[in-house]
Structure 1
Amino acid sequence: MMHTSIDSAAGRAARYAALLGLMRAGANFGDHITQSGRDAVLKAATDAAPVTYKGEQYGTRAGRAACLRHSLTYTATQAAVIGVGARALGVRLPAGRLLAALAVTGASHYLIDRREPLRRACDAIGKGEFYRHNSGGINGSYLMDQAVHHLIEAVACLIPAAD
């Protein structure tokens, strides 16, 4: 059994809290501000469910490219916010572990934002009806998307927060 001093446990907890706050802020900005309008519209396009944007139809290839661009700018935004915030707070984060956490959030963001994998997962766990709900100001697919992003970020932040 490994014993940890209260100071090092408190330090890890503080690192985790700072990192989670910064990562979430970067994610929210990257998802809603950094993302281009074009990528937001096209990122889930498939040949089976094409998307029309400015009078032209787009399928899987354009959807994958848009989602990749968005995921890269999203992850870069997270990295920038974390870098500036950690420096301002004097929080040292191991570069390799931080890159691993960002890789987890970036790759998972791509999968979730392609929409079909998340829809299938929601169907599999009995949440398909809520995923498809879109009335009364409630957009189930968006809420499920955000819930999964938040959970993955919370887990990914454990990687660089550890000693």
Structure 2
Amino acid sequence: MRTTRTHEPRGGRLLGGVAAAPGALSPETTKRGTLMMTDRPAPAQALALTGALLATWDALHPLFDQWFQDGRDAVNKGACGHHLVYRDGTPVGGEAEGDDRRGEPTMTATRLGWISAVRHVASYSAGQLTGTVLLIRVLGYRVPASALVTGAGINALTHLVIDKRQPLLWLATRAGKGGYVEHCTVVRRLDGDGAARAEESGPGTALFELDQALHRAIGAFAAVTTTWLAIRSTKKGRSQ
């Protein structure tokens, strides 16, 4: 009787009778139900992780940038100047009539701005990092902590600089967006004499749109960086 041999397909092996690409996932490559980063071909694994990070960070961004941001921090994080203010941002000497605030702690407007911005970024980064860890746990990825911290760090540091407003205004001017910023302002309240007071920052303004666009673009860069570091770390571990 003539026997036939089943040849392994070029470039892969048979898994359940179906040709698999080199590096494809096999049952024996799992460990405690968790998929190692090396269980899949590098391009597919990179696209999957980058897409997951992008989707998660983009979806969580409004939640932690708006809902979880303290109202006082939102108002005061852009404060700048050497004049003294109270902790709520009210300038010393600008108290309401009959409001005795003697003895309350004061600080420069610049210091209040940095404190407010750092506090906001800290809560934002904690929420984003928590969401990311939950994501990779649910999907079964084992991403190095160093890669996650680097991605979160990129988002945090740039978020802090952008939310200080002055760097964002400088960048907008250099990019030729000065007219856009000056044109798209909002009036949220009237001055004491009833005159309209235009504000160039906050929801509804051009500066707010530029702020959000920059946060999301940097988030994409951070996601790609996180993925690259994760794959690089995994390849380095396999070669040792």
Name the TM-score, length of structure 2 as normaliser: 0.61
Cα shift at 1:51: 8.0
Q: RMSD across aligned C-alpha pairs, in angstroms?
A: 2.6
Amino acid at match of 1:127: K
| Residues 85 and 138 of structure 1, relative CA distance in 2, 3 Å threshold | same
List, as ranges, runs of 4+ consecutive aligned residues in structure 1 with deviation greater than 3 Å: 48-55, 135-138
In structure 1, the residue matched to 2:207 is 141
Equivalent residues in 2 for 1:14-163, closer than 5 Å:
14-47=48-81, 56-57=90-91, 59-132=109-182, 133-135=184-186, 138-162=204-228, 163=231
Amino acid at match of 1:140: A
Gaps of 5+ in 2: 1-21, 24-39, 92-107, 188-202, 232-240
Gaps of 5+ in 1: none
Question: Any idea what the Cα deviations from partners look like across 1:85-142, whole Å, max 9, x if unmatched?
Answer: 2211223322101101111100000000000000000001101122232259841010
Largest Rg, 1 or 2: 2
How far apart are the structure 1 equivalents of 2:208 and 2:86?
Answer: 20
* Number of residue equivalences: 160
Q: Could you tell me whether the CA contact under 8 Å between 2:89 and 2:109 is conserved in 1?
A: no
Amino acid at match of 2:150: A
In structure 2, the residue matched to 1:9 is 43
Name the TM-score, length of structure 1 as normaliser: 0.87
Cα shift at 1:52: 8.3
| Residues 37 and 92 of structure 1, relative CA distance in 2, 3 Å threshold | same
If asked which structure has higher relative contact order (CA below 8 Å, sep 6+), I would say 1
Higher helix share: 1
